[in-house]
């Protein structure tokens, strides 16, 4: 869609005040929210793919050669996912109300524990299996939960 043509007065107002009307301000303010959401969702998906690859590898008794031979790809996906989801969730939380941030804290803190419980029938709590990788995610997840909890308590709730 082509941008709307502006009158000379609107263009001068933009040059003087560096803005157009209020409607475009709201659109510009909402654009970063989609970027933060997308970053968080992509990061979470990378974590899920990396962890699922480990559990699938154990569940198939290491018969899938691609998973066994190239598991470092999935480890890198988990690391990139942790970074992307952390950045995305912090940026997204800045735009949410206090109660939504508190729910985000709960999900971030509980999700590695739920993953361990769901994966227990597949791999047990073998320290050399995928459960060890999930248990390592508890540390950054807890740190992220504390950061989000502080954001929920300290930032005003007048956002979006």
Per-residue pLDDT of the chain in tens (160 residues, 90 and over written 9): 445 656 666 666 655 555 544 544 454 455 577 899 999 999 999 999 999 999 999 889 888 888 888 889 999 999 999 999 999 999 988 888 888 888 999 999 999 989 888 888 888 777 788 888 888 889 999 999 999 888 887 665 444 4
Give pTM, 2 decimals.
0.73
Within 10 angstroms of residue 149's Cβ, the number of other Cβ atoms is: 18
Torsion region of 124: left, alpha or beta (phi above 0 gives left; psi -120 to 50 gives alpha): left
- State the helix-helix crossing angle for 22-59 and 71-93, rounded to 10 degrees: 150
Q: So what's the pLDDT on residue 33?
A: 78
- What DSSP element (H or E) covers 130? helix 130-154
C-alpha closest to that of 51 among 109, 158, 129 = 129
Cα separations (Å) of 76 from 24, 65, 102, 104, 138?
39, 18, 29, 25, 17
- State the helix-helix crossing angle for 98-123 and 130-154, rounded to 10 degrees: 170
Q: So what's the pLDDT on residue 27?
A: 44
Task: Give the tokens for residue 155.
Answer: 């930032």
Dihedral sign, CA of 121, 124, 130, 133?
A: positive
Domain segments of the chain as ranges = 32-154
Distance CA 39, CA 85 (A): 6
Q: So what's the pLDDT on residue 87?
A: 93
């Amino acid at each position: 869609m082509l941008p709307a043509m502006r009158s000379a007065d609107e263009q001068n107002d933009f040059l003087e005040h560096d803005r157009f009307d209020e409607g475009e301000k709201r659109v510009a303010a909402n654009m970063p929210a989609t970027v933060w959401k997308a970053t968080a969702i992509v990061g979470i998906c990378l974590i899920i793919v990396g962890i699922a690859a480990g559990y699938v590898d154990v569940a198939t008794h290491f018969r899938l050669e691609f998973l066994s031979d190239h598991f470092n790809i999935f480890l890198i996906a988990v690391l990139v996912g942790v970074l992307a989801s952390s950045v995305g969730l912090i940026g997204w939380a800045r735009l949410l109300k206090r109660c939504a941030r508190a729910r985000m804290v709960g999900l971030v803190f509980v999700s590695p524990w739920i993953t361990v419980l769901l994966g227990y029938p597949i791999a047990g709590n073998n320290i050399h299996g995928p459960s060890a990788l999930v248990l390592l995610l508890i540390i950054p997840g807890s740190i992220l939960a504390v950061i989000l909890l502080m954001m929920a308590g300290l930032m005003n709730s007048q956002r979006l």
